[in-house]
Structure 1
Amino acid sequence: MALRQSYRSVLFVPADRTDRVLSAPSRGADAIVADLEDAVAPDSKAGARTSLAELLVAGRVDGRVMVRVNAAGTPYIADDVAALAPAFGSLDALVLPMSSPAGVAELHRLLAEHDAPDDLAIVAIAETAAGILDARGTAAASPRVTQMLFGPADLSAELGVTVTAEGAELAHARAHLVLASAAAGLLAPIDGPYLNVDDAAGLVRSVRVARTLGFGGKAAIHPAQLGAVHAEFAPDEATLDWAREVVAAAEAAAATGSGVARLADGTFVDEPITRRARALLAGAGS
C-alpha cells in the first residue's frame, strides 16, 4: 500500500538546480517536490534527472522528497522513471502533471516495470477541465494514488479566466476536487501555489480560501510563502480545545455503551465528528 502521508506544505524546486534541491529541506516545508517538468528545459532534462537521482541515492537530500516527473504520453516520462528507479527508496511519491486515468495507469505500469516499492505513492495533479471532472477515475486508476494536487495555472488558461487570490473564478473546480478526493477515499487535496510571490496579503487570502474549501495543504514556489501556509493550516488553540473536548466526551460516552456524546454547550457529537477531532489532534501532534 502506498504511503498515506499528509502535507500542509510542499515546496517546488527546479530539479536541475542542485543548490536549491540540497537547501530546500531546511526551508521548513513538510516535503519538497523536485521538478523535472516545467522547471527544466527539454535539453536539460536528461542531465537533471541523472544528477537528481545521484543526489538521492547518495542520501544527500534530507527530509520528505517527491519528484514531479513529466506528463504521461511525453517522450520524457519513461526516462524519468528509469533514472529515478535506484532512488525509489528515498522518495515519498512521484507527482504526475496533467493527470488522467490513462496517465496514472501509464505511470503505474512504469513503476511496476522497475519494481517500485509498494509504499511509493502517486500524487496526481488535476490541472485541466477533463482532469478535474475525471478525478475519481484518476484516483481509481492505481492503488498508489493517495492524494490530488490542484493546478490553477493551466486550468485558468483553458477556461479563459484570471486567477485571483479570492479564487471565485475556480471555486467550482476546487470544490469538485475536494469532493472527488473524499469520495475516492484519498487524503484531502493540496492546493496549487499562489504565483505572485511578492503579494503577501494575497497569499494569505488564497491559503484561507483553500482551507475553507477543504484542502489539506498548499504548494509553494518560494520559501517565503511557507509561513503563511503553515499558519493557516495549523489549527488554533480554540479548535484544539474543541477537539479535546469532543474526544473526551466520546470516550466517556463509549464507556457507558453510548455511541453519541454531548458537549458542555449541549451539542451532540457522533462518530464522524469524533473522527474529525481525532484527526485534528493527530495533525497537531496533540
Structure 2
Amino acid sequence: MTATTYLYVPGDTPARFGKALRSGTDAVVLDLEDAVVAARKDEARELVARWVAACDPAGVELWVRVNPGELGERDIRAVAAPELTGIWLPKVESALEVEEAGRVLADCGAGHARISALVETAAGLLALPEIARAAGIRFLQLGEVDLAADLGIEIDDSAEQLLFARSQVVTVSAAAGIEPPVAAVSVNFTDPTTFEAETRRLRRLGFAGRACIHPRQLAPVRDVFTPTPAEVGHAEDILHRLAAAPSGVGVDARGHLIDEAVARSARRTVARAPRPGPGSGP
C-alpha cells in the first residue's frame, strides 16, 4: 500500500529519529530546512547523514527535506545512502532544479532515490506542468504557508483561497502520470476533529496522503486515507459486476450505472486497502 502518513522530524534532534521510526508512520521526513536554524545546519546535516547511513528502516520510508540552492547540494551529497527513499526539495520553480538534484543523487550512488518537489511560490505554481514531468519526480507538494505569503492571500478556516493551487497540483500530477500529491502540514494537533475534517476535504480534492508534524496526527490521516471494509467491498463488487456485464456498462448493487470510469475509481480504492500482515487471518 502506498504511504499516506509522512512524519516530520527536525534534523537537529537525533533523540527523536528512532521514536519517529517506531511511531507507526509510513514515512519519516528528516527536516534540514525550516526546522533547523542557520547556525545548526552543518551539525544537523552530519547527524541526519550518520543516522540514515546506519538505519534499518524496517519498511518505513526515509525521506530528507534538504535546503534550497547550494546548501541543498551539500545536504544531498551527505545523506545519499542505500536506505534513503528520497529527498523533499523545497522552493522548486523549475524542472531544471529537480533534474539537477537527480544528477547529484546519481553522482553519489543514490540513483534509486526519488524526489518530491515542494512548490511554494507563484513562479513554481505556473511551472507545475514542467516540474511534474521532470525525471525522478515521485509526487508533488504545496508549501502552503510560503505560497500564501508569496501570493499575498489570507487563508481563513475554509482555506478556499488555496482551492485553485490545490486543484492545480492534483491536475498536473494526474496529467503527468505520477503519484497524487501529498497534502501540506497543519499546525493543528490539539483539535483532532477539525484536523480530520480538513484532511477529509483534501482527500476528496485528490490528495493521497498528508505530512504531519506530530504523532497525534498520524491516526486521523491514516483513517481518512484508508478505505473502510465496506468501501473496499463495494469497490470489489463494482469490478466483479462490470467484468461479468455483457457490454461495457453494468449496474451496481445500488442500481447505479457503472462503466470503466467508475471502475478506475474502484481500482484505486482496492489499491489503498490495508494488506494483511504476517500471521494474520482467521
TM-score norm. by structure 1 comes to 0.88
Pick closer, same or farther for the CA change 1:205–1:160 going to 2, 3 Å.
farther
| Structure 1 segments unaligned to the other structure (5+ residues) | none
Q: Which residue of 1 aligns with 2:66?
A: 69
Question: Alpha-carbon deviation of 1:64?
Answer: 1.4
Query: Following the alignment from structure 1 to structure 2, what is the Cα–Cα distance between the partners of residues 164 and 199?
Result: 16
Query: Following the alignment from structure 2 to structure 1, what is the Cα–Cα distance between the partners of residues 267 and 205?
Result: 20
Question: Alpha-carbon deviation of 1:35?
Answer: 0.5
Query: Following the alignment from structure 1 to structure 2, what is the Cα–Cα distance between the partners of residues 76 and 61?
Result: 26
The question of 1:84 aligning with 2:79 is answered: yes
Equivalence map 1:46-61=2 (5 Å): 46-61=42-57
Pick closer, same or farther for the CA change 1:163–1:195 going to 2, 3 Å.
farther
Q: Which residue of 2 aligns with 1:177?
A: 169
Task: Tell me the secondary structure at the aligned position of residue 238 of structure 2.
Answer: helix
Question: Alpha-carbon deviation of 1:61?
Answer: 4.7
Equivalence map 1:137-286=2 (5 Å): 137-142=130-135, 144-253=136-245, 258-285=247-274
Question: Alpha-carbon deviation of 1:69?
Answer: 0.9
Task: Tell me the secondary structure at the aligned position of residue 209 of structure 1.
Answer: helix
Query: Following the alignment from structure 2 to structure 1, what is the Cα–Cα distance between the partners of residues 146 and 18?
Result: 28
Question: Alpha-carbon deviation of 1:103?
Answer: 1.6
The question of 1:96 aligning with 2:89 is answered: yes
Task: Tell me the secondary structure at the aligned position of residue 9 of structure 2.
Answer: strand
Question: Alpha-carbon deviation of 1:60?
Answer: 4.9
Pick closer, same or farther for the CA change 1:163–1:197 going to 2, 3 Å.
farther
Question: Alpha-carbon deviation of 1:259?
Answer: 3.4
1:60-118 CA-partner distances (Å, limit 9, x unpaired): 555211111111xx231121111112x1x11211111111223212212212322323x
Q: Which residue of 2 aligns with 1:124?
A: 117
* Paired positions, count: 273
Contact 1:165 1:194 in 2 (8 A): no
Residue 89 of structure 2 aligns to which amino acid in structure 1?
L
TM-score norm. by structure 2 comes to 0.90
Query: Following the alignment from structure 1 to structure 2, what is the Cα–Cα distance between the partners of residues 175 and 223?
Result: 27
Query: Following the alignment from structure 1 to structure 2, what is the Cα–Cα distance between the partners of residues 103 and 128?
Result: 14
Residue 66 of structure 1 aligns to which amino acid in structure 2?
W
Q: Which residue of 1 aligns with 2:279?
A: none
Task: Tell me the secondary structure at the aligned position of residue 90 of structure 1.
Answer: coil
Query: Following the alignment from structure 2 to structure 1, what is the Cα–Cα distance between the partners of residues 132 and 16?
Result: 31
Q: 1:40 aligns with which of 31, 36, 60?
A: 36
Query: Following the alignment from structure 2 to structure 1, what is the Cα–Cα distance between the partners of residues 253 and 193?
Result: 37
Query: Following the alignment from structure 1 to structure 2, what is the Cα–Cα distance between the partners of residues 6 and 195?
Result: 24
1:184-210 CA-partner distances (Å, limit 9, x unpaired): 111110110111333333312321221
RMSD: 1.9
Task: Tell me the secondary structure at the aligned position of residue 190 of structure 1.
Answer: coil
